[in-house]
Structure formats: C-alpha cells, structure tokens
Structure 1
Amino acid sequence: MGTATQYFLSRNSGIRMVLVVVMIAVLLQISDHQVQAQGAICSGTISDLNVCASFVGPGATNTNPSADCCATVQSIDHDCYCNTLRIASQIPTQCNLPPLSCSGN
C-alpha cells in the first residue's frame, strides 16, 4: 500500500473510532435517562403506599386494606415492587444489624 492509502485508512479508522465512541456515549446517556425515569416512576409509585400505612403499622387493628390501598398495590409494577422489597430487606445488614427474622404470625 502506498503512503496516501495508509494515511487514508488510518485516518478513516480514527474517524470510525470517534464515531463508535460517540455512539456508545449517546447510548449510555439514553440508557441512563431511561433508568432514572423508571426509578422516578417506581419511587413515586412506592411512596403512594402511604395509603396502606394504617393496615401494616404497629398496633394496627384493621387488617382489611381500603380500596385506595388495594388500587395502589395493584398499580405497582411487579419488578418495581420486588426490587423495592429486595433493597429494603438489605437495610438491616447494611446498618450493621442482624438480618430480619420474621415469624409467620
């Protein structure tokens, strides 16, 4: 190959490399925004569970959740709900407490 051809190919691969890096950066940015949006939606939905607090709090005597509580629970995405429970179950260990052990009552 001549010097001009080598220069063109090396310059072309440099341009290709820059394009690949830019494309990866754009894809990561888009992905990050989607994850943040999903997280915001999930945390907003989970925070709506406060309508269920009177049914799950210590000393709660009413064990029948309201229609609002049921509607909120039904509206939560399965993955969002599971991920929140998984993260919440790790908090005691991360705070140097023994893992939770709950009886079935």
Structure 2
Amino acid sequence: MAITKSVLPLVMLVALVSQSQLITAQFQAQTCSSSLSSLNVCAPFAVPGSSSSTTPSPECCGALQAIDHDCMCSTLRIASQIPTQCNLPPLNCGGN
C-alpha cells in the first residue's frame, strides 16, 4: 500500500505535465494558424498571375515579419510532404 501512495503523486504529476504540454501545443497551433492567415495580404505577390507587382506590399512584409520562424518553417515542411502523403509525386520547384 505504501508503494501505491508514493506512486500516485508521481502519476498525477505526469498527467498534469502532459495536459499542460497539450494545452500549450494547441495554443501554439492556433497562434500559428492565425499568423499564417494574415499572409493573405501577400497573395497579389505570391500567386502567379494575380498581380503584376514584382515586390510585396508593406502590409505583406509586415505580416511576414510578425510570423514566428518555427511556425513558418513547420508549415513549409508539412506542406512539402502533402503530395507524398496523397500518393502523388513530390513537388519539383526547380528554376523553371
């Protein structure tokens, strides 16, 4: 019985830490998603044929500057894996 009493606080601590990490991850995902949606102002520059602009707008630059580096890198890394996950050939974005 003494072992059970000493293990219970440890189990509760592990559960609490796990729950805290899950809440933090969910918050970070929401923050990242919100930041990425702010990049819509970059569409005229980023989407081929949508504008003749050769430089991004100040609003686009500001939105890009506000995005967390890890958020942007994770998003690009995940996006590059989507074709393979859909059983499609990987994207080839060479200089063409």
Aligned residues: 95
Structure 1 gap ranges (5+): 1-10
| Structure 1: distance between partners of 2:61 and 2:76 | 17
Corresponding position of 2:2? 12
Corresponding position of 1:6? none
| Structure 2: distance between partners of 1:58 and 1:92 | 20
2:77 to 81, 86, 90: 86
Corresponding position of 2:48? 58
Structure with bigger gyration radius = 1
Following TM superposition, the consecutive aligned residue runs of length 4 or more in structure 1 with deviations greater than 3 angstroms are none
Structure 2 gap ranges (5+): none
The letter for the 1-side match of 2:44 is S
For the aligned residue pairs, the C-alpha RMSD in angstroms reads 1.1
| Structure 2: distance between partners of 1:31 and 1:12 | 30
TM-score under structure 1 length normalisation: 0.85
